[in-house]
Amino acid sequence: MTRQAPIPIILLTGFLGAGKTTWLSRALRHESAGRTAVLVNEFGEVGIDHLLVGTIAPDTVLLNSGCICCQIRGELKDAILDVITRAERGEIPTFEKIVIETTGLADPSQILSTLMFDPVLHNQVSLQHVVTVADAQNGATIHSAQPEWVGQIAAASVLLLTKADLVSSSKLQALRMRLALVNPTAEQLVAQDCPGFRDIDGPGDSHLPTVNFDKSSQHQDGTGARTLSLTLERPMDWVKFIVWLSALIHRHGAKLLRVKCLLNTEETGPVLIDGVGHTLHHPRHLDSEFASDEKSRLVFIARDLDMMRLRLSFEKFVGT
Q: Would you kindly state where each structural domain of the chain is located, as residue ranges?
A: 7-199, 216-317
pLDDT digits (tens, 9 = 90+) for 173-184: 999 988 988 888
* Average pLDDT of the residues of the chain: 80
- From 205-209, 240-244, 285-289, 306-310, the region with the lowest mean pLDDT: 205-209
pLDDT digits (tens, 9 = 90+) for 196-252: 888 886 544 434 444 334 444 565 555 667 888 888 888 888 889 999 999 998 888
- From 49-58, 128-137, 214-223, 256-265, the region with the lowest mean pLDDT: 49-58
Closest CA to 52 of 31, 66, 33: 66
The topology (CATH level 3) of 216-317 is Hypothetical Protein Yjia; Chain: A;domain 2 (3.30.1220)
Superfamily per CATH, domain 7-199: P-loop containing nucleotide triphosphate hydrolases (3.40.50.300)
CA 278/CA 257 separation, integer angstroms: 9
Give the rounded percent of residues in the chain with a pLDDT score beyond 70.
79
Q: What is the dihedral sign for C-alpha 278, 279, 282, 283?
A: negative
pTM for this model (two decimals): 0.76
What pLDDT does 24 receive? 87
What pLDDT does 165 receive? 93
Number of H helices, E strands in the chain: 8, 16
Amino acid at the residue 57: A
pLDDT digits (tens, 9 = 90+) for 42-100: 545 554 444 444 454 556 766 666 677 787 766 889 889 999 999 999 988 899 989 99
Q: Cα dist. 266→127, 250, 312 in Å?
A: 28, 25, 22
What pLDDT does 125 receive? 93
Provide the phi-psi class of 212: left if phi over 0, else alpha when psi is between -120 and 50, else beta: beta
